[in-house]
């Protein structure tokens, strides 16, 4: 009985600790839409909005069989209010109408350049190769990498560029607002974002001495000069978790980094249904656990233990005081989660409060994806099969890079160089 009481109390203490970490994350996470005043861009002054004032940005977007989503996303791209922008759309071996749509868009808007990839070199992942091809067509001060189903607010890029220039940021990533019509899927995605948030500190990301690095594929803005000092895309050619891998690569090149929330600025419908989500994470769920089944089983066991700590243990412990403490701690934690989710994405009001029921679902879904990957001997991604042995041998992104590692080895000291970009006293 004492063991179960201790288990219950330990779970309550853990909830309070997690609530504190969640609140700290929320407090320190800036939003791209509402950056502090000194970073804000004042719009509406036409004499300031010209291509000679603003640094050139190349937006590179790979697309593979995105015929059903790319047209809607491109509508938002064409409305981006940035005067010195080029858009590189890379058709990655699509078998649907994606290539034709990209060609049509290039005729409609002179900023768009269509690039077609018809061949995948051995030893490369399709998306990483498409990014490499797209990057080879750029000649700009800054490069923004995104996906073909991402929607941008008109002022999102201006806000991001001004923030980077004012605070000397070399790599900026924005956490996208993930929308879905499935209430169940929203809970799962919210769990994924929340559990990931427990492992890094937004206010420390731009500290060169800090260990962690973080990247979100929907929005990764990087200074070209820093990228050219890095190992470049070839270093990531077999990295399934390519966005965080890119962040690690930029960190190794000495980049100053930042992560912000993209609510109302960067939006994506990640997966249309829970079934699509399950198929999608078969690509990278096992990679997040270093292709280690024992590590994934250990994480699942830990989560199950915590779940039992506020469900089964209070009943077996027969202690009303211990149970009351843990339930109160859980409520505090849930309200902290609610505040965090509202900062990151548009969620249904009750989403955070069903977390106690869905808490254990996410690791089980990851475990299922790992077993599928092991059964297949690899992953199917963008119509190509990649063997597990080759993926493991070439993995760059490690959990240690996110949380536990020593400071990543820096290839070259970071500099504040930029390509002849002049800012006036007001910063735009």
Residues 243 and 297 occupy one common structural domain:
no
Domain identity same for 163 and 227: yes
43 assigned to some structural domain: yes
168 and 121 in a single domain? The answer is: yes
Looking at per-residue pLDDT, the higher value among 44 and 357 belongs to 357
In a shared domain, residues 273 and 283 = no
Q: Give the residue with greater pLDDT, 211 vs 272.
A: 272
Structure token pair of residue 388: 């597990």
Contacts of 207 (CB under 8 A, 6+ apart): none
The Cα 133–Cα 181 span in angstroms is 34
Strands 378-381 and 384-387 turn out to be: antiparallel
Average pLDDT over residues 138-164: 94
Give yes or no for residue 154 having a pLDDT over 50.
Answer: yes
pLDDT digits (tens, 9 = 90+) for 275-321: 888 888 888 888 888 888 998 999 899 999 999 999 999 999 999 99
Which pairing describes strands 57-63 and 177-178: parallel, antiparallel, or unpaired? unpaired
218 and 328 share one domain: no
State the residue range of the domain holding 353: 2-25+278-404
Percentage of the chain modeled with pLDDT above 70: 87
Q: Do 98 and 15 belong to one domain?
A: no
Closest CA to 401 of 212, 204, 246, 199: 212
Question: Measured between alpha carbons, how far is 21 from 17 in angstroms, rounded to an integer?
Answer: 6
Residue where a domain stops, chosen among 223, 242, 277: 277
pLDDT beyond 90 at 112? yes
Residue 43 has pLDDT above 70, yes or no: no
**Structure letter (DSSP) for residue 34:** T
Question: pLDDT tens digits for 2-20?
Answer: 899 999 999 999 999 999 9
367 & 298 share domain? yes
Among 243, 259, 277, which residue terminates a domain? 277
pLDDT above 50 for 406: no
| Section 388-411 average pLDDT | 68
The model's pTM is: 0.88
Cα dihedral 299, 304, 307, 309, rounded to 10, equals -100
Domain endpoint, select from 277, 299, 331 = 277
- Residues 99 and 212 both lie in one domain: yes
pLDDT of residue 47: 38
Tens of pLDDT along 198-241?
Answer: 887 777 776 666 667 889 999 999 999 999 999 999 999 999 99
Q: What does the pLDDT read at residue 274? A: 84
Domain count along the chain? 2
Query: What's the pLDDT score for residue 208?
Result: 61
Please check whether residue 423 lies inside any domain of the structure. Answer: no
Give the sheet arrangement for strand 112-117, strand by strand: 112-117, 85-92, 57-63, 142-145, 220-223, 171-175, 257-261
């Amino acid at each position: 009985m004492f063991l179960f009481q201790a288990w219950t109390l330990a779970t309550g203490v853990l909830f309070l600790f997690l609530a504190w970490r969640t609140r700290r994350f929320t407090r320190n996470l800036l939003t791209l839409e509402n950056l502090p005043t000194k970073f804000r861009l004042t719009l509406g002054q036409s004499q300031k909005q010209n291509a000679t004032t603003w640094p050139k940005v190349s937006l590179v977007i790979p697309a593979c069989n995105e015929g059903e989503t790319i047209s809607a996303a491109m509508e938002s791209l064409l409305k981006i209010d940035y005067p010195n922008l080029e858009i590189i759309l890379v058709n990655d071996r699509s078998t649907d109408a994606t290539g034709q749509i990209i060609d049509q868009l290039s005729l409609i808007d002179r900023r768009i350049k269509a690039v077609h990839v018809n061949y995948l070199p051995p030893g490369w992942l399709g998306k990483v190769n498409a990014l490499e091809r797209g990057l080879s067509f750029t000649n700009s001060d800054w490069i923004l990498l995104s996906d073909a189903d991402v929607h941008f607010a008109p002022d999102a890029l201006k806000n991001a560029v001004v923030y980077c220039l004012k605070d000397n940021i070399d790599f900026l990533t924005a956490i996208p607002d993930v929308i879905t019509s499935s209430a169940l899927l929203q809970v799962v995605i919210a769990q994924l974002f929340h559990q990931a948030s427990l492992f890094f500190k937004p206010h420390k990301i731009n500290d060169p001495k800090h260990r962690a690095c973080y990247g979100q594929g929907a929005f990764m803005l990087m200074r070209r000069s820093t990228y050219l000092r890095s190992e470049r895309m070839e270093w990531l050619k077999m990295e399934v978790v390519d966005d965080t891998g890119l962040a690690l690569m930029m960190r190794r090149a000495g980049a100053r980094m930042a992560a912000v929330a993209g609510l109302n600025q960067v939006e994506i419908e990640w997966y249309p249904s829970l079934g699509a989500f399950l198929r999608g994470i078969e690509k990278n769920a096992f990679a997040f656990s270093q292709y280690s089944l024992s590590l994934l089983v250990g994480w699942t066991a830990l989560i199950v233990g915590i779940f039992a700590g506020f469900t089964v243990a209070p009943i077996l412990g027969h202690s009303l005081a211990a149970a009351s403490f843990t339930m109160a701690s859980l409520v505090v934690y849930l309200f902290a989660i609610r505040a965090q989710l509202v900062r990151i994405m548009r969620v249904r009001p009750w989403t955070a409060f069903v977390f106690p029921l869905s808490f254990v679902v996410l690791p089980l879904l990851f475990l299922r994806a790992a077993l599928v990957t092991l059964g297949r001997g690899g992953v199917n991604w963008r119509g190509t099969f990649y063997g597990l042995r080759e993926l493991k041998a070439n993995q760059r992104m490690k959990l240690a890079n996110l949380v536990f590692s020593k400071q990543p080895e820096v290839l070259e000291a970071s500099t504040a160089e930029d390509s002849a970009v002049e800012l006036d006293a007001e910063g735009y």
